[in-house]
Amino acid sequence: MPQAIFKTLSVIMTNAVNLLDLDPIGLVSYCENLGEKPFRARQLQRYIHRSGISDFDAMTVLAKSLRDKLKICASIRHPAVLKDRTSADGTRKWLLDVGEGNAIETVYIPDQDRRTLCVSSQAGCAVNCYFCSTGKQGFSRNLVVGEIIGQLWMTEFALRAAHGSPFPGKRVITNVVMMGMGEPLLNFDAVLSAIRLMLDDNAYGLSRRRVIISTSGLVPMIDRLADELPVALAVSLHAPNNSLRDKLVPLNKKHPLEELMLSCSRYLRVAPRDFITFEYCMLDSINDSDECAQQLLVLTRRISCKFNLIPFNPFPESRLLCSSPERIRRFAQILIDGGVITTVRRTRGADINAACGQLVGEVHDRTRALMRRKQNIIPVLRGSPRAI
């Protein structure tokens, strides 16, 4: 190809709109700007998000003239894969390049009927929680819609291609959790656009109960989520009182626990599930005493909730240790005896560093290997729901 034509084509392709950046409303406006009717946007969306087709020539239901236009002014691009690892337990983790030296992670966690994708919302994170390796990397930038939904798009169709028949006619990914890198409520608009695609019947068709946003507790944004698109909510609590939470989750100084509990109560009025999940990272001798568990029961007494205890995943700079399995069991039992359903997260994909933020740093730490061996023997505990 002559150099000049090649250069012109490259410029057009780099400026081409990435259709993964457009949510259902955005795609309708885009098609209208091309002089097309809204139903064309739905057809296009089905090709992209239901069939995983990125070759415009293969979108034969669309008029040839539209396909030709799209070939010139649009493209479908997900972040490039830097690493792709599968664990012995079936957990699969991708490291994706989002440019300028930034990488993000996406983790697929199959578990019986549930096949969950853990999605990142930011490159790095500004909240800087005491025990989080993503926080320690600092904040680089918000991901755009195409980089968020691109994680689901790329993995769903890669998994379909790999599995072929085990899930015939079905989606591979049944649940999405916004628990990868970053604070999703600090990238509100892009996260919501991506979730609109996740929920759309002409895309992934997931129910609001099966999409979970996990937040460190941005009170005004929890209220906004309640107003705009209430999906299932997980709140990272990690401490039962303000003095400890101020240290572990610095955002607590701005939005203390009393405010956070009130926003959780408000959220429950519109939430798709009748409970909020409180995540609690188990840190040896820091937040794992019997007294902490008892304080948690008091703090959350007016809230319909479940606890998910997360064994801390050590990384070298953290200089922290995970609570012992016995301590975690005892802590869980106090919550269960207090009437709150409590589960302990099983460690998945330990052989591929599948925990949040760890493939990016590719850290090697002998304490982690020891911890993993301990964590693998923790059973999942269940209690009976507490009356509210």
Task: Give the burial class of 19: count Cβ atoms within 10 A of its Cβ; 0-12 exposed, 13-18 middle, 19 or more buried.
Answer: buried
Helices and strands (H and E) in the chain: how many = 14, 14
Nearest to 175 by CA among 224, 94, 116: 116
Nearest to 153 by CA among 163, 164, 161: 161
DSSP label at residue 169: T
> Is residue 265 part of an annotated ligand binding site?
no
356 is a catalytic site residue: yes
Query: Which residue of the set 105, 147, 156, 279 is catalytic?
Result: 105
Angle at 178 between CA 221 and CA 371, to 5 degrees: 120
Question: In angstroms, rounded to a whole number, what is the distance separating the alpha carbons of residues 42 and 285?
Answer: 54
Task: State which of residues 183, 192, 194, 309 lies at the interface with ligand SF4 (CB under 6 A).
Answer: 183
Give the interface size with ligand SF4 as a residue count (CB under 6 A).
Answer: 11
H helices present in 145-218, as ranges: 145-163, 188-199
Q: Which is nearer to ligand SF4, 183 or 200 (CB)?
A: 183
> Is residue 324 part of an annotated ligand binding site?
no
> Is residue 163 part of an annotated ligand binding site?
no
Shortest distance in whole angstroms from residue 236 CB to ligand SF4: 6
267 Cβ contact partners less than 8 Å away, ≥ 6 residues apart: 222, 223, 225, 226, 230, 233, 276
Question: In angstroms, rounded to a whole number, what is the distance separating the alpha carbons of residues 296 and 39?
Answer: 51
Does 286 engage in binding with ligand SF4 (CB under 6 A)?
no
Shortest distance in whole angstroms from residue 60 CB to ligand SAH: 41
Does 279 engage in binding with ligand SAH (CB under 6 A)?
yes
Tokens of 265: 């109560």
Does 187 engage in binding with ligand SAH (CB under 6 A)?
no
Question: In angstroms, rounded to a whole number, what is the distance separating the alpha carbons of residues 328 and 375?
Answer: 10
Helix (H) or strand (E) holding 293: helix 290-299
Does 216 engage in binding with ligand SF4 (CB under 6 A)?
yes
Do the strands 114-118 and 175-178 form a parallel or antiparallel pair, or are they unpaired? parallel
Task: State which of residues 79, 146, 150, 182 lies at the interface with ligand SF4 (CB under 6 A).
Answer: 182
Coil vs helix vs strand at 181:
coil
Shortest distance in whole angstroms from residue 10 CB to ligand SF4: 36
Contact pattern from residue 111 through residue 130 relative to ligand SF4, giving x for each residue in contact according to CB under 6 A and a dash for the rest:
--------------x-xxx-
Shortest distance in whole angstroms from residue 74 CB to ligand SAH: 32
By beta carbon distance, the residue nearest ligand SF4 is 135
CB–CB of 97/103 below 8 Å? yes
Does 310 engage in binding with ligand SAH (CB under 6 A)?
yes
Task: State which of residues 140, 214, 343, 347 lies at the interface with ligand SAH (CB under 6 A).
Answer: 214
Does 211 engage in binding with ligand SAH (CB under 6 A)?
no
> Which residue type sits at 99?
G
Task: State which of residues 75, 91, 102, 134 lies at the interface with ligand SF4 (CB under 6 A).
Answer: 134
Does 132 engage in binding with ligand SF4 (CB under 6 A)?
yes
105 is a catalytic site residue: yes
CB–CB of 282/309 below 8 Å? yes
Contact pattern from residue 22 through residue 61 relative to ligand SAH, giving x for each residue in contact according to CB under 6 A and a dash for the rest:
----------------------------------------
Residues found near ligand SAH in the complex (CB under 6 A): 129, 131-133, 179, 183, 214-216, 236, 279, 281, 310, 312-313, 356
For binding to ligand SF4 (CB under 6 A), which residues are involved? Answer: 125, 127-129, 132, 134-135, 182-183, 216, 236
Residues making up the binding site: 125, 129, 132, 182-183, 214, 236-238, 313
